[in-house]
Amino acid sequence: MKEASSKQLPNKSERHKLFGSVQPGEKIKPTEKEKMPDLQNTKKDFLFDIDQVGIANVKHPVQVFSKTMPASQTTIGTFKMTSSIQKDHKGTNMSRFTEMMQDYSKNNTFDLSIASLKTFTKEMAERLEQDDNQITVSFPWFFERSGPASDRTGMNHADAEITIIYDKNAGYHITVSLQGTITTLCPCSKEISEYSAHNQRGIVSMKTELTGEYNEDEVDWKQALLEAAESNASARIHPVLKRPDEKMVTEQAYENPRFVEDMVRLVAADLYEMPFVQKFSVTCQNEESIHLHDAIASISYDKSLHS
């Protein structure tokens, strides 16, 4: 039997040289922050104001509170943080965004309450010496769901997003969004078929502008929007279904057929009745089970324009 041959490799330093590493050059620029030039703070006429400048696609652990179980959860938020700058400013201080995120984090976890985000945007505007600031954070929100017959519990999730805009003169503008998953059964299929009917999984996307009277201690916007989508569907989505559950869900869907047009109108009616919602948009997109295309419908409504 032939023995495995051994090969003597160059040491790590030599290997680095082999692949292009070179010795550091002479360091002549200052290392103290106070002596370093700050290009972003240059004041000249730079031609145009900038609407938004900042950082995006920042991932950070976040703490989410819910009126559904689990009442508190840690998940991953994806942040976008920006402010405007006037034309006499060359740029913004990007590091202050992430620096302040860490300041607002407890145990390295950022609190995603509306109240905390409002304070964050106002303080960030002040630290940047600007009149406005904006933060958007998207995150997966998890919630428990039990089978209707077996009561076996699992975890579902929906995609959520919060945007807070602070303006020194206009105050706060708050929008929240949620994408929930539902089951719909085709009314046309049920009507024309001798038996059975095809169904599909749908995504209901809701974006709402909150009024100034919204109180997160009284109402969980995530729960409210999810209920608007699920309660109007043919059936809810379940992570765990035993046979008795499957029977109930299948029969419920058959008893509540829905087109995408039906879904957006029914969800819109629920959002219209929520006193803390000023305006909204809702879209339903179904992945059809007997077509290659998706079906889609959408509605937008502003209560202030129809009062």
* Res 38 pLDDT > 90: no
Strand 171-185 versus strand 235-236 pairing type = antiparallel
pTM: 0.88
User: What is the rounded CA–CA span in Å between residue 77 and residue 101?
Assistant: 12
Q: What is the pLDDT of residues 196-242, one digit of tens each?
A: 899 999 999 999 999 999 999 999 999 999 999 999 999 999 999 99
User: What is the rounded CA–CA span in Å between residue 124 and residue 247?
Assistant: 53
User: What is the rounded CA–CA span in Å between residue 156 and residue 184?
Assistant: 18
Q: What is the pLDDT of residues 72-129, one digit of tens each?
A: 999 999 999 999 888 887 777 888 899 999 999 988 899 999 999 999 999 999 998 8
- Locus of tokens 């202050």: 96
Residue 239 DSSP one-character state: S
Q: What is the pLDDT of residues 62-86, one digit of tens each?
A: 999 999 999 999 999 999 999 988 8
Strand 277-287 versus strand 294-302 pairing type = antiparallel
Q: Using an 8 Å Cβ cutoff, are 58 and 98 in contact?
A: yes
Q: What is the pLDDT of residues 141-168, one digit of tens each?
A: 999 999 999 999 999 999 999 999 999 9
User: What is the rounded CA–CA span in Å between residue 81 and residue 70?
Assistant: 28
